[in-house]
Structure 1
Amino acid sequence: MTTFDRREEGFENKFAHDEEMKFKAEARRNKLLGLWVAEKLGSSGEAASDYAKTVVATDVDGGEAGVIRKVIADLAAKDVAITEAQIRVRMDELMPQAIAQVNAGT
């Protein structure tokens, strides 16, 4: 294996690792968002945890836009007035916490 091949393999491995960490951080952020929304909906404990799992699953199926649509619809169904802009701000606020948790392995 040449030096170039080893460098290329190293870059590929780093890219794969970075993408995996990004995926985990986004999933963790969505879980934290789900717990926050569950609190706004009046849920706690196991019910809040279950709701957070559905938010994470929504991201797998519908991406970030799907998550936003879901939580806005769920909040609207309970007459909780939170805008899409507020949801996006909360997602931005939660991302550093999610990254820290993923990096810490929690």
Structure 2
Amino acid sequence: MSGFDKREEAFESKFAHDEEILFRILARAKLTTGLWAAEKLGKTGAEAEDYAKALVTQDVAGDLKFGVLAQIQKDFAAAGVVQSEHQIARHFEEFKAQAAKAVKG
């Protein structure tokens, strides 16, 4: 194996590792955001966990803008929970930062 091939393999390996870490961070952040939203919707216990897990499952391959945050906003509107799109996104970013610390640390 040439030096170039080894270098290419190393870059591919790092890319795959970085993508796995990002996936884990986003999944954890979406779950935590879902649990926060479930609490705002008055869900507790298994019902809250099921709600959060359903959000993550439906959004695994989706775009964040049209996935978890949009679904939460829609559910909030239907339930009369007053939270702006910005407030929901801010909570997600906070949970994402916490998830990054937990996954990387």
* TM-score with structure 2 setting the length: 0.91
Instruction: Give aligned pairs, total.
Output: 104
The amino acid across from 2:69 in the alignment is: I
Question: Which residue of the partner structure matches residue 55 of structure 1?
Answer: 55
Structure 1 CA distance for aligned equivalents of residues 94 and 52 of structure 2: 17
Q: Does 1:96 align with 2:100?
A: no
Instruction: State the alpha-carbon separation in 1 of the partners of residues 3 and 39 from structure 2.
Output: 54
**Superposed structure 1 runs of 4+ greater than 3 Å apart:** none
Q: In structure 1, list runs of 5 or more residues that go unmatched.
A: none
Structure 2: give runs of 5+ residues left out of the alignment.
none
The TM-score normalised by the length of structure 1 is 0.90
In the TM superposition, 1:1-106 aligns within 5 A as 1-65=1-65, 66-104=67-105
Deviates further, 13-22 or 54-63: 54-63
